[in-house]
Structure 1
Amino acid sequence: MPGSTLPAIGPADVAGVRRLARDGLLAGSASAAPPRELTRLRGAVYAVAWPLVFARITRPLERQRRHLDCVRGLESLRPGCLDGFHDDVEAVVEHALRRATDRIDNFEGWLTTRLHPATVDAHRRRRGELGALQRPRLPAWLGDALGGDRWLCDLAVQILVWAGVPSTAGAELWPMDSWAARRAEVTGEPAAGRDRLDGEVRRVLAAMRTRPQWHAEHVERPLGRKQTPVAPVPADSAAELPALELVGPHEVADARLTGLAEQALSAIEARLDRGEEPSGAVKAVVRLVFGTDGTGPGGGPHAEPAREDWLATALADPARVDRIVATVLAILGR
């Protein structure tokens, strides 16, 4: 079991869980089991549940988030995404050990039908423990205060959702990079600068504070229960320290390209939703995001000449453009 501290679970343990499920005894056995046996039962259910959770919940969610690295496999999940995966698996395991009271011939099939209710209930319970809204929705008064602006209203919901997440975004309170990508998706505009997004967050928070009690209960209180991030090294101290490079330059470049690819996919999908022709949408966004004209975030005086040349050549070749468009549409599920 990946990332688990439970004892090693073998085929016999999993076969035993399936047998208990077929006999309608799984929940009853779990409730009566001594601690060591309960741990083994939980581990065996975990071994059956985690591939289902990753395939049916985690991978689609990471694809929706445009986390292309996380989509590749369990070992590629980012730390925060990995924590969420384990939370979901634990929720399914606990659900099974409480609810598997009837005879279940196909244990995997039954678990698959329980994935959504188990994880949703657990998610809402964790949010409730923090004091956050269990089902974040935009109040009508807040939508009016934001002038009905589509993006600002969406951002308000994202703030309410994020308030109930236990962790922070690294050393920051808000996941600004993720919201920048979502903004491009919602508005169809290129990724906004940090100053503009900061201003929009402040505007939404100001609108929320017009109802002080509501803001204190649903925003301030859950935010106050977030895990405290590690304090960054002061700038003057950091300047005295030599740079610590944990990865090579090519890995840094790959990570940057992955981030640009996520922005590009969001912008392309927004254009397609507005009815633009796929080839034109892809070419326009690739030029803008990767900066083949030197103006986009991937271009400018520090852009890699080899990549600039490759993109210019690729976009001038109709056959290669067709392959790029086909790949993008496949990733987006179009």
Structure 2
Amino acid sequence: MSDQSLDDRRSGPCGPADLRELASTGGLARRAACVLGEERMSLVREAYEVVWPVVFQRITRRVEAGRGHHTCAISVRHLADGCLDGFHDDVEAVVEHVLTHATMPIRDLEAWVASRLTVATVDAHRRRRGQRGALQRPRLPKWLAQALGNDPWPRELATQILVWAGVTATAGTAVWPVDRWAQRRAEVTGDTVGADPALVRREIETVLRVMQGRPAWYAKYVEEPMGRKPIVAGMLLGDEGLGNRPVPASVRDDRRERAYTGLAAIAVDQIAARLHRGDDVAVITAVTVEVLGLVFGSDIGAVDLDQPPHGSTAEGEAVAGLLADPAAVERIVAAVRAIIEPGNRL
């Protein structure tokens, strides 16, 4: 193929086909609206390659860490199925937003994409909620707020129920994410002692009974969207059927090991990002101690949140003890250097 014919094929009647060139000239949205078939798919593929790393770094990693999904926060290939679905939903939403709204010259495409993440994903999230039959913007109707009284926690719990009904996420074999809401209860009420999952289950039932005072409303915005959630093996046991028993030790140990492996991977990534070629041992040691203290000190408690008070081990204190021991720090730094030196990273 001659250079001239290649130029003609790339430019065509709608302008140049390269995504970044189109963005820089302000013609990306016009081109996306103009082309069809394989040309459109090619543009979408290019947009995906730009968008997905930004979405993962700016949205997915933060969300997964906030959920306590430390392994999912490592990389896209570590995402569990449900988390991966959410990631793809966000990427698809941002790609569509880029191809629709990139109407001005854009010099730094990644930076512009980052600035549009919230608008693109929130709009798409609301559309998906509407498609599932849930409220697009979960807000309490006046009658429900009045029926729940002036206590802010029942109102917050009712809002969380409406939010939960409209997402595809599940709570394992349970119907509701009771442990997460118990943490939220402590934040709202300031009562850390009374934030008991069994109490939250009873409060959920109370709020649901109030909602059921308007049967048509309850069926439309709670029952029907909840009925569209994926069915998890074992869910028929029911939340109450599981009781308030601690997780068996073998399961708990396996989950703890996976969580710590995820935390360690995050720590290594952070250490590598802060170091520069040629840094001496003192710098590497200081960075390693700081990062390990931040990662394990802040997130390690999430591993045993399903255990009763005093039922979990004090791994956070153990890590702090290791970081205070020069000999242990020396061994840790040697292990970190072996991982992050060129040729050793996966």
Q: Pairwise mapping of residues 89-238 of structure 1 onto structure 2 (< 5 A)?
A: 89-188=91-190, 189-190=192-193, 192-230=195-233
Question: Separation in 2 of the partners of 1:290 and 1:229?
Answer: 22
Deviates more, 1:219-228 or 1:148-157: 219-228
Change (3 A) 1:218 1:250: closer
SS in 2 for 1:111: helix
Query: Where does structure 1 lack aligned partners over 5 or more consecutive residues?
Result: 1-14, 235-246, 259-282, 321-334
Deviation at 1:116, TM superposition (A): 1.2
Deviates more, 1:216-225 or 1:72-81: 72-81
- Contact 1:181–1:191 (CA<8 Å) still a contact in 2? no
1:297 is the counterpart of 2:300:
no
Deviation at 1:255, TM superposition (A): 5.2
- Contact 2:50–2:110 (CA<8 Å) still a contact in 1? yes
Question: Separation in 2 of the partners of 1:81 and 1:313?
Answer: 29
Deviates more, 1:87-96 or 1:69-78: 69-78
Deviations, residues 228-284 of structure 1 (Å, cap 9, x unaligned):
3345698xxxxxxxxxxxx998533435889xxxxxxxxxxxxxxxxxxxxxxxx9x
Deviations, residues 268-321 of structure 1 (Å, cap 9, x unaligned):
xxxxxxxxxxxxxxx9xx99x979xxxx73645xx66xx58x949979x9x89x
Deviation at 1:180, TM superposition (A): 2.7
- Contact 1:48–1:108 (CA<8 Å) still a contact in 2? yes
Q: Which residue of 2 aligns with 1:270?
A: none
Question: Separation in 2 of the partners of 1:43 and 1:144?
Answer: 50
Deviates more, 1:224-233 or 1:83-92: 224-233
Question: Separation in 1 of the partners of 2:228 and 2:132?
Answer: 6
Deviations, residues 200-244 of structure 1 (Å, cap 9, x unaligned):
11001011112222212221222232233345698xxxxxxxxxx
Question: Separation in 2 of the partners of 1:45 and 1:202?
Answer: 45
Write out the 4+ residue segments of structure 1 that deviate beyond 6 Å after TM superposition.
312-315
SS in 1 for 2:116: helix
Question: Separation in 2 of the partners of 1:194 and 1:257?
Answer: 24
Q: TM-score, normalised by structure 2?
A: 0.62
Deviation at 1:198, TM superposition (A): 1.6
Residue type of the alignment partner of 1:44: E
Deviation at 1:25, TM superposition (A): 2.6
SS in 1 for 2:172: coil
Give RMSD over aligned pairs: 3.8
- Contact 2:70–2:259 (CA<8 Å) still a contact in 1? no
Question: Separation in 2 of the partners of 1:150 and 1:190?
Answer: 18
Question: Separation in 2 of the partners of 1:24 and 1:145?
Answer: 52
The share of aligned pairs that are identical, in percent, is 48
- Contact 1:163–1:219 (CA<8 Å) still a contact in 2? yes
Q: TM-score, normalised by structure 1?
A: 0.64
Between Structure 1 and Structure 2, whose CA radius of gyration is higher? 2
Deviation at 1:117, TM superposition (A): 1.0
Q: Which residue of 2 aligns with 1:243?
A: none
Deviation at 1:83, TM superposition (A): 1.8
Question: Separation in 2 of the partners of 1:125 and 1:22?
Answer: 30
Change (3 A) 1:313 1:70: closer
Q: Which residue of 1 aligns with 2:85?
A: 83
Question: Separation in 2 of the partners of 1:182 and 1:68?
Answer: 19
Deviations, residues 135-160 of structure 1 (Å, cap 9, x unaligned):
11223332332232222221111100
- Contact 1:22–1:105 (CA<8 Å) still a contact in 2? yes
Question: Separation in 2 of the partners of 1:165 and 1:133?
Answer: 11
Q: Which residue of 2 aligns with 1:37?
A: 39
Q: Pairwise mapping of residues 277-296 of structure 1 onto structure 2 (< 5 A)?
A: none
Instruction: Give the length in aligned residue pairs.
Output: 258
Question: Separation in 2 of the partners of 1:122 and 1:90?
Answer: 9
Residue type of the alignment partner of 1:20: L
